[in-house]
Amino acid sequence: MGNNAHRSHNGGVTFATWAYDQFGMSGRDMVLISLSDQGDTLWTRTYGRPHNDQSFSMLGTADGGYLIVGGTDTSDIINPGQQLYLIRTDAFGDTLWTRAYWRSSYDYGLAATECFDGGFTIVGTSSPGGLYLVRIGAQGNLIWSRVFDKRDPPFFDSQVPTAWGVAQLVDGSFIVCGNHQSGAALVSNINSVGDLLWTRRTDIGNVVALRQIVATQNGGCLMVGPIQIDGD
């Protein structure tokens, strides 16, 4: 899934993960750990709400801070579910703000990119299965959100898409990579206001998903993903 490690401003590395609450009271908590260039722990931060929180990706921001992307369980007993959950920190892991976004009963974020205006675009999944995008400002204010799924032909036909990576291109639009339910790799282009422009299923050898993406200076992008080896 998304990138969980980033080179720190001090030359070391900071990575996001999750751990069970040490007292067993609140389930899973998000964890941010910063290491020196020698592998020594510089600091550890734990972030938790009363219910399960899980990080799936972490983005290093232009100001040296971090954006942790994941999901958090809701406290609604009648309608339990999960919300897409973000934690924005400074370079030392201290919380600047947190935000939760809920579109359906079960949403979570898998990756994010920092936009040219200082805001962010997050991709993930929204039940019952679809490509979920959330565009926010620098302080986490919601600008727009979109879900694209099998109800949006001819782009996805009968296949349920999952997004694993996102990057902003020089024209301001976004490239999202992932896979279809069938296992075919997926690339989609969404404009700056959330309209789906095109989507492609890739037929590059045995590539079954595209997991990470980086925009290039010539207006294109580089993507990586796993391949299926015959017999496995």
The pTM of this model reads 0.86
| Pair of tokens at residue 156 | 């996805």
pLDDT of the chain, 232 residues: tens digit per residue: 445 788 887 789 999 988 887 655 657 889 999 999 999 999 999 997 777 888 999 999 999 999 999 998 876 655 668 889 999 999 999 999 999 998 777 888 999 999 999 999 999 988 776 789 999 999 999 999 998 876 555 555 555 677 889 999 999 999 998 877 666 788 889 999 999 898 887 666 555 677 788 888 888 888 887 666 565 5
> What DSSP letter does each residue of 92-104 carry, written as one string?
TS-EEEEEEE-SS
Fold of 107-121+131-232: Neuraminidase (2.120.10)
- Report the 10 Å Cβ neighbour count for 224: 13
Residues facing residue 89 across a β-bridge: 66, 95
Q: Residue type for 221, please?
A: C
- Please report, for the chain, the start and end positions of each structural domain, with discontinuous segments joined by +: 1-102, 107-121+131-232
Distance CA 188, CA 154 (A): 13
